[in-house]
Homo-oligomer: A and B are copies of this chain.
Amino acid sequence: MPAIHTLETPPATRRAHTVGCTGCAHASACQAGGYGKDELSGLRRIVEKVGLLRDGEYLYRPRTPFRALYAVQSGMAKTVTVDSAGREQVLAFHLPGELFALDAICLGYHDNAVIALGRTQFCRFPFDSLRCLATTQPDVQWHLMHTMSRQIHQQRLSGGDYPAEERMAAFLTDLSDRRAMLGLRADHLPLPMSRADIGNHLRLATETVSRLLARFRDAGFIRIDRQGLDILDGRALRDVGRHLLQG
């Protein structure tokens, strides 16, 4: 398992404040921005834009103070922990509109890192403002709870004891479903992360990831190209992973 990326954190000056979500392609499907609902417009007034980060650059690092929640605006990112032995673990991949850093609230600092996969922009929700907003607007409060609940709920899926093939199929189907929810093409998955990242996340060796994808390709479920893959038979794929999906 290779060591941590050594690219430098981008200077804070690269962060640019913007006024809200107007013009963002994902605004109406964005979890972080409240799916464009009027009652949650407050959320979209406190957002700041961060980026552009390049592949491998850090949004934040472990042991840095928790000041804000984030979402991906465009591109993709991964959350990674490093344990006491230096081994890293990919906890999640983030698609546009998905809120993260929720786990840092209880600690007051980040104990994991978020790293850009390819060129990626982020939205930043300063936690002070958010807290303020939540005390005055029950809708915002409710939305946050809802989001956290969903995250608790979803994480449980990835823990299960299922064969490698099922985990991989479920992973691809889940990515596809999340893209569909965002209004993106569900039959095409860009995979800017390495095979090692996918394997780490699914508790598989990179060789196994490669072999499983080859198997799905040979079965006619997917077509693989350099930047990702096309889903040719989503039904079949979903069926392989069915035990892991949505209980």
Please give the residue numbers on chain A whose beta carbons come within 8 Å of chain B beta carbons, in ascending order. Answer: 62, 81-85, 87, 89, 91, 102-107, 111-112, 131, 134-135, 138, 141-142, 144-153, 155-156, 158-161, 200, 203, 242-244, 247
Contact = CB atoms under 8 A, between A and B. Distances in A.
A104 to B, nearest CB: 7
Q: How many copies does the complex hold?
A: 2
A247 B153 contact: no
Given A103-B149, A111-B153, A131-B142, 19 more contacts: A62-B247, A81-B247, A83-B243, A84-B243, A84-B247, A89-B160, A103-B153, A104-B153, A106-B147, A106-B153, A112-B247, A134-B141, A144-B145, A148-B152, A155-B155, A155-B156, A155-B159, A161-B200, A161-B203
A63 to B, nearest CB: 10
Nearest to A89: B160
Given A155-B155, A160-B89, A247-B81, A104 B149 contact: yes
A132 B145 CA distance: 14
A100 to B, nearest CB: 10
Given A83-B247, A138-B135, A107 B203 contact: no
A135 B144 CA distance: 13
16 contacts: A62-B247, A81-B156, A81-B247, A89-B160, A102-B148, A104-B149, A106-B147, A106-B150, A106-B153, A131-B142, A148-B148, A148-B152, A152-B155, A155-B155, A159-B159, A159-B203
Nearest to A205: B161
A106 B247 CA distance: 15
B242 A84 contact: yes
Contacts of A82: 247
A230 B91 CA distance: 33
Nearest to A104: B149
A155 B156 CA distance: 8
